[in-house]
Amino acid sequence: MFVYLNGKLVPEEKARVSVFDHGFLYGDGIYETMRAYKGIVFMVDEHIKRLFRSGDLIKLKINLSHEGIKKAIYNSLKKNNLKDAYIRLSISRGQGEIGLDPELCKKPTFVIIAKQFKEYPEELYLRGVKISIVKTRRNTPEALNPKIKSLNFLNNILAKIEAKEAGAYEAIMLNYKGYLTEGTITNIFFIKDNSLFTPSIEAGILDGITRDLIIRVAERKGIKVTEGLYTPENIYDADETFITNTTLEILPVIKIDKNVIGKGIPGSVTKDLHRSYKEEVERYLKTGKN
Ligand code: PLP
Q: Is 187 in the pocket of ligand 1 (CB under 6 A)?
A: yes
Q: Is 203 in the pocket of ligand 1 (CB under 6 A)?
A: no
Which one is catalytic: 71, 149, 192, 255? 149
Q: Is 210 in the pocket of ligand 1 (CB under 6 A)?
A: yes
**Over residues 152-159, mean pLDDT:** 98
- Report helix angle 268-287 to 209-220, nearest 10: 110
Q: What distance in Å separates the CA atoms of residue 124 and residue 163, rounded to the nearest whole number?
A: 16
Note if the pTM is more than 0.85: yes
149 included as an active-site residue: yes
Give 215-260 pLDDT, tens digit per residue.
999 999 999 999 999 999 999 999 999 999 999 999 999 999 999 9
The DSSP element (H or E) to which 209 belongs, if any, is: helix 209-220
Give 8-25 pLDDT, tens digit per residue.
999 999 999 999 999 999
Residue 288 has pLDDT above 90, yes or no: no
Residue 199 has pLDDT above 70, yes or no: yes
- Length of the chain as a residue count: 290
Q: Is 139 in the pocket of ligand 1 (CB under 6 A)?
A: no
Give 42-60 pLDDT, tens digit per residue.
999 999 999 999 999 999 9
How many angstroms is it from 33 CA to the middle of ligand 1? 8
Give residues with Cβ within 8 angstroms of 189, minimum separation 6.
196, 197, 198, 211, 214, 241, 242, 243, 244
**Over residues 170-183, mean pLDDT:** 98
Sheet of 2-5, strand order: 8-11, 2-5, 109-116, 85-92, 29-37, 40-41
pLDDT score of 289: 73
Q: What distance in Å separates the CA atoms of residue 186 and residue 181, rounded to the nearest whole number?
A: 10
Residue 39 has pLDDT above 70, yes or no: yes
Give 96-149 pLDDT, tens digit per residue.
999 999 999 999 999 999 999 999 999 999 999 999 999 999 999 999 999 999
CA-closest residue to ligand 1 atom 6: 185
How many angstroms is it from 272 CA to the middle of ligand 1? 22
pLDDT score of 290: 66
Average predicted confidence (pLDDT) for the chain: 97
Q: Is 211 in the pocket of ligand 1 (CB under 6 A)?
A: yes
3-state secondary structure of 31: strand
pLDDT score of 270: 98
User: Hey, what's the torsion of the CAs at 209, 212, 213, 214, to 10 degrees?
Assistant: 120
Q: Which atom of ligand 1 is nearest to the CA of 210?
A: 14
